[in-house]
Amino acid sequence: EAGVTQFPSHSVIEKGQTVTLRCDPISGHDNLYWYRRVMGKEIKFLLHFVKESKQDESGMPNNRFLAERTGGTYSTLKVQPAELEDSGVYFCASSSGLAGGPLQFFGPGTRLTVL
């Protein structure tokens, strides 16, 4: 069974540009999460989808971040315009079961560098 996949693995962009990250969850997992780790800090929750609906987006830092999950399969996270403080590793995770389930399985992450 394929795990959570993320694309790209690395992205280097200039301040003010737009970047779109993609996550493909484990097949059949209704729950999809985005997390972010800024260098030296904790991994922080961004948002949670149940199928195509946003269940919890309390961790989204500001309106420059837009997450979508059309059709309830893969998800995209767009940052527009990117700022220097957006640099970090963006992780996607998925899980099955109600209330998010106890186990979240993570992808390899996308390392975003904003210059």
Partner 1 sequence: GEDVEQSLFLSVREGDSSVINCTYTDSSSTYLYWYKQEPGAGLQLLTYIFSNMDMKQDQRLTVLLNKKDKHLSLRIADTQTGDSAIYFCAEKPPGYSTLTFGKGTMLLVSP
Q: Which of 11, 75, 94, 104 binds partner 1 (CB under 8 A)?
A: 104
Residues 89 and 113: beta-carbon distance below 8 Å: no
Task: Determine the Cα–Cα distance for residues 86 and 70; give it in Å rounded to an integer.
Answer: 24
Residue closer to partner 1 by CB (options 17, 68) is: 68
Both tokens of 14, joined, read 């200039």
Smallest separation, CB 42 to partner 1 (Å): 5
Site for partner 1 in 23-82 (CB under 8 A): 31, 33, 35, 40-45, 48, 55-56, 59
The two three-digit tokens of residue 95, written as one number: 């899980």
Q: What is the DSSP letter of 55?
A: E
Short-list 34, 37, 29, CA closest to 86? 37
Considering beta carbons, is residue 7 or 81 the nearer one to partner 1? Answer: 7
Question: Which listed residue (21, 107, 112, 114) binds partner 1 by CB under 8 A?
Answer: 107
